[in-house]
A and B are shown apart, each in its own frame.
Chain A
Amino acid sequence: MEPSDILKILKDEGFDEAVVSTSSTRSIYIKIANSKVDSIVEKKNERGRLFVSKEKKVAFSNIERPDKQSIKLAIGNLKQAINIAEPKPDYYGIAEGPFKYRSNFIFDKKISEISIEEASEIANQAISEFDVENIAGTLHLSSYTYSIATTKRVEASTMGTEARLSLRIFKNGFSMQDYIASRQLKEINLSKIKNSISMLEYANGTGKVKSGKYDIIYMRSPAGLLFSNVNDMACIDSVEMGSFLSNKLGDKIANRDLSIYDDGSIESGIDSSPFDEEGYPTQRTPIIKNGILKSYLHNYSTAKKYNTKSTGNAGLVNPSPNTMVLYHRKKKSLEKLISSIDKGIIVTNTWYTRFSNYLKGDFSTVPRDLAIYVEKGSPKFVIKNLGSSFGIGIRISDNILRMLEKTTSVVNDTTQSTSWDSDSYYYTPSVLVEEVNISTV
């Protein structure tokens, strides 16, 4: 059943507004461990979701599978949910269509039709390319179709594909992890990861560092992981919570050469889509432009509440970010960036980023893989403050507003990246953040 058919049924139920979406997905996860393909998971699901409003009450339900019985059950659940709900005073409706959408989003048929045998062969090929002690990782391949219809004259569908290879390489007692991600299988070539892994060549000795302030080069993946918190906290519901971006529109909050965008419209972006969850077209929204906080992220209802326009970030109740894109006007090669550092650390991967204070932006995070101490413009040694095999033993404590101000230059290496610790993608170069607090074991 198409969303428009389900919408016709919902129209007879007396709701003010409705959004129906359906999806069909296929995902393959090939787990790599101990330099072997370890196991394979394949998922195939066909589902749907319903959203309705009535007299400012809002409710959701899901369609278990696309058959008449499930749809009937879903509508029954929806009625129960909205009967229990109370009016949401600051709800102002869904976006009025019809809209025109971009249609140039990449769909790779090779990914959607790939067999398990072919996929496992790609993983085995990747393993064989590296002459190292140990490789672990995941090859993830997925495809989807997604359709939407609303009572506000939206009827649209899109398709997408995703190929992601994450590899963690262990060599000479050190580890290094990187990701290649694209909507096209042909772009999953290993040259980018090999280039990242070449950083292991700096690992010509180990040493300990003391707690204190260091200039940090965050490579792409940790940079994206940290700066994507800006997009999360620019969503208007986070702003209402009092996030570190609250009450700062128009203020200078970052280095004047730094800009951060939310963009759901990048044709190669894995998280991109022509439209958001209420069918509003996605766009590129400047959150920070040349250091100035320019915009928060909205859906139609929250935009109306604040007398502004939707940024294409529905989330039907709360907005959600699309893809974070970071630009900086001061670009250098990695070598030149390293040579500009008097006392610093190259951080290749982080995880467990936690905020102790959302309002002030205080956080800490832990370097996970290779971290290289840099002194007087040259890499000196790999940090090993812990005795255990792959442990590093340092922790970064910082404030995100301070970090935005102290991001003084970047490497010209932007690509689509992600992290195990993140469920989204970002386009970011490696960045230099000055005078960061480091504590040690």
Chain B
Amino acid sequence: MQEYEGIADYAISYGLKQGFDYVEAYLESGGSFSYSRKQGNPNSSYKSKYSGIRLRLIKKGSLYTYSTNIISKERIKEAFKFSGFKGEKVGLSEEKAEKYSYKVKERIKVEDSYESAVKDVEELDKSLNGLAYRSISISLGKYENLFVNSEGSRVYGEIPYISSFILIIVKDANDSRQKLIQLGNTGGYEVFKWEEIRENVEEEINSLKKVLKEGISLSKSQINGIKNVVASSEIIGIAVHESIGHPLEADRVFGREAAQAGTSYLMPSNLGLKIGSKEVNIFDDPTIKNSYGFFLYDEEGVKARKKQLVKKGIQNELLLNREYAKALGTKSNASSRSDFYSNEPIIRMSNTYLEKGKADFEELISEAKNGIYIKSFTEWNIDDTRSFARYQGNEAYIIKNGDIEKPVKNYKLEKSTFDFWSSVYLLGNDFNLYAGTCGKGEPQQGVPVMHGGPSALLKFGGK
């Protein structure tokens, strides 16, 4: 990275001389090792290294992003031939020029852990005998980035990470159940607690087998008749991500993603909308240590902070970059990210969650009295405006007279966003975050995120 710093600085000075209103340069360099196994056998290993530069320029209000892996003065000069276009005129919010450098600490460096990762994955794989199918992949890497702009910001970050996908499938003569588990953290190799991972995977397998063997199927009218739902933190997490985080991205609200990742029930005309019950407080926080969505500065050099998206059921902050902060006459809250140096940074979530409450899990179940406990999901989807979602239960149980009873094979939690969040009645005192890869933009960019919260009792049809 150091060898290219001069090129980034050159880009700023050259761009200003060429009469550009704003110039920023983002250098990124990284490397990773990936390894995968299928059905008990090794599949492939991949070691990679990359670096590149991205310039974002504004001329006469026109926004242009240029990226290349040929980091030379000659190559980047090409970008400054840009002369503007007929179209949107962009302005950026005024922000403090930041000078900061940070590195995420690693007790065990990821680059010293490739052989350990292979061994740990192999051990996990071998412990999963007896499934219809299993595959495991792991990726360990580190990237560093340097952001400089024509306003004097200079921010350097170095972030190691580990991620893994585990697919397990169980079946009997008539049916099958599947689960894709995604894991992800930032930090050294020590952040992956393999004993816990093995226990969790075993628990998932046992649950799939239990539902496969003992699960009952409910009729449509039985499903429609269920009023009280205890949703686990996994269900709450995906709902927070899909029906709160995404629709509160300012670029959606203002129509910039209309042909790509979609629109939103929230519009410039209904900001401050009541979305849920007063129990609902939802945050996005990239500063959570070792989280998969971690960063301390975003890709516009703005200092990251915890944002409250929903406050007592009312939409509070939007996720903002400098462009939309300017449009709203406020400051950016550092939500500008890309998945790779070559793509434009756009407004993204980081770690998004529902604030936990005080109730024990048993209290949620007994308060529900009769209903359903939905512990995990498999398929899920949501409409363009983020108003109508479905979470297909992978593991769900009947609640009868305040006790958890038989597993259910086919429960679907299919509700409007407002019905879902308005029905939040009681929050658990547990809390979990789940790793995910969030897609948006064109070309689609997948950025690491987390989503979660506590278990919660939802009472549909009133208290």
A393 CB to closest chain B CB (Å) equals 5
Within 8 Å CB of B381, what residues of A?
A: 351-354, 364-366, 395
**Residue picked from A42, A137, A353, A392, most chain B C-beta under 10 Å:** A42
B343 nearest CB neighbor, chain A only: A41
- In the complex, given contacts A41-B65, A60-B47, A241-B167, what are 20 additional A-B residue pairs having Cβ atoms less than 8 angstroms apart? A33-B88, A33-B257, A34-B256, A36-B88, A40-B62, A40-B82, A41-B344, A59-B46, A61-B48, A74-B49, A81-B47, A84-B33, A86-B118, A90-B41, A237-B38, A354-B379, A355-B379, A356-B378, A392-B383, A395-B414
A87 within 8 A of B: yes
CB-based contact A138/B260 at 8 Å: yes
B123 CB to closest chain A CB (Å) equals 13
Within 8 A of B (CB), among A38-66: 38-47, 57-62, 64-65
Within 8 Å CB of B165, what residues of A?
A: none
**How many CB-defined contacts (below 8 Å) exist between A and B?**
268
CB-based contact A43/B68 at 8 Å: yes
CB-based contact B114/A38 at 8 Å: no
A40 nearest CB neighbor, chain B only: B64
Distance, CA A313 to CA B230, complexed state (A): 46
B371 within 8 A of A: no
A134 CB to closest chain B CB (Å) equals 7
Interface flags for B123-162 (1: CB within 8 Å of A; 0: not) read 0000000001101000000000000000000000000000
Within 8 A of A (CB), among B240-266: 254-263, 265
Number of A residues, CB within 8 Å of B? 91
A77 within 8 A of B: yes
B87 within 8 A of A: yes
B85 within 8 A of A: yes
Interface flags for B378-416 (1: CB within 8 Å of A; 0: not) read 111111110110101010000000000000000000111
Within 8 Å CB of B16, what residues of A?
A: none
CB-based contact A61/B47 at 8 Å: yes
B83 within 8 A of A: yes
Given A59-B45, A82-B45, A85-B42; A124-B86 close (CB under 8 Å): yes
A350 nearest CB neighbor, chain B only: B381
CB-based contact A33/B258 at 8 Å: yes
Interface flags for A184-224 (1: CB within 8 Å of B; 0: not) read 00000000000000000000000000010000000000000
Distance, CA A433 to CA B78, complexed state (A): 51
Range, interface on chain B: 35 or more
Chain-B contact segment, one of A101-109, A332-340, A383-391: A383-391
Q: Which 9 A-B pairs have the closest CB atoms?
A: A37-B87, A352-B381, A136-B258, A354-B379, A136-B259, A356-B379, A168-B259, A120-B85, A77-B47
Within 8 Å CB of B169, what residues of A?
A: 241-242, 358-359
Given A38-B256, A138-B259; A120-B47 close (CB under 8 Å): no
Given A59-B46, A85-B42, A88-B42; A42-B383 close (CB under 8 Å): no
Provide a sorted-by-A list of 9 A–B residue pairs whose CB atoms are within 8 angstroms.
A44-B68, A77-B48, A167-B259, A352-B382, A353-B381, A356-B378, A359-B132, A420-B259, A441-B388
B342 within 8 A of A: yes
Within 8 A of B (CB), among A223-241: 237, 240-241
Within 8 A of A (CB), among B16-53: 31, 33, 35, 38-39, 41-52
Distance, CA A352 to CA B262, complexed state (A): 11
A141 CB to closest chain B CB (Å) equals 13
Distance, CA A141 to CA B65, complexed state (A): 15
Given A80-B47, A88-B41, A388-B387; A120-B133 close (CB under 8 Å): no
A397 CB to closest chain B CB (Å) equals 9
B449 CB to closest chain A CB (Å) equals 17
A328 within 8 A of B: no
CB-based contact B171/A242 at 8 Å: yes
A83 CB to closest chain B CB (Å) equals 9
| Residue of A65, A73, A366 touching B69 (CB-CB under 8 A) | A65
Within 8 A of A (CB), among B346-403: 378-385, 387-388, 390, 392, 394
CB-based contact B379/A366 at 8 Å: no
Distance, CA A34 to CA B258, complexed state (A): 9
B67 within 8 A of A: yes
B37 nearest CB neighbor, chain A only: A86
Within 8 Å CB of B378, what residues of A?
A: 354, 356-357
| Residue of A42, A134, A356 touching B258 (CB-CB under 8 A) | A134
A296 within 8 A of B: no
CB-based contact B70/A65 at 8 Å: yes
CB-based contact B43/A42 at 8 Å: no
Distance, CA A33 to CA B261, complexed state (A): 12
A129 within 8 A of B: no
A369 CB to closest chain B CB (Å) equals 8
CB-based contact A44/B70 at 8 Å: yes
B67 nearest CB neighbor, chain A only: A43
Distance, CA A359 to CA B392, complexed state (A): 16
A127 nearest CB neighbor, chain B only: B87
CB-based contact A38/B171 at 8 Å: no
CB-based contact B416/A441 at 8 Å: yes
**Residue picked from B35, B132, B259, B385, most chain A C-beta under 10 Å:** B259
Given A138-B260, A168-B258, A420-B259; A366-B47 close (CB under 8 Å): no
A131 within 8 A of B: no
Distance, CA A170 to CA B384, complexed state (A): 13
B343 CB to closest chain A CB (Å) equals 7
| Residue of A46, A317, A355 touching B43 (CB-CB under 8 A) | A317
A360 within 8 A of B: yes
Within 8 Å CB of B51, what residues of A?
A: 64
Interface flags for B76-117 (1: CB within 8 Å of A; 0: not) read 001101110111101000000000000000000000001100
Interface flags for B216-258 (1: CB within 8 Å of A; 0: not) read 0000100000000000000000000000000000000011111
Distance, CA A360 to CA B66, complexed state (A): 45
CB-based contact A42/B64 at 8 Å: yes
Distance, CA A368 to CA B260, complexed state (A): 11
CB-based contact B442/A420 at 8 Å: yes
Distance, CA A175 to CA B415, complexed state (A): 23
| Residue of A65, A73, A386 touching B387 (CB-CB under 8 A) | A386
B71 nearest CB neighbor, chain A only: A65
A145 CB to closest chain B CB (Å) equals 15
Given A40-B63, A356-B392; A62-B50 close (CB under 8 Å): yes
Within 8 A of B (CB), among A102-140: 116-117, 120, 124, 134, 136-138, 140
Distance, CA A395 to CA B384, complexed state (A): 12
B312 within 8 A of A: no
A172 CB to closest chain B CB (Å) equals 16
B78 nearest CB neighbor, chain A only: A44
CB-based contact A360/B176 at 8 Å: yes
Within 8 Å CB of A170, what residues of B?
A: 258
Within 8 Å CB of B50, what residues of A?
A: 62, 64
B461 CB to closest chain A CB (Å) equals 15
A358 nearest CB neighbor, chain B only: B178
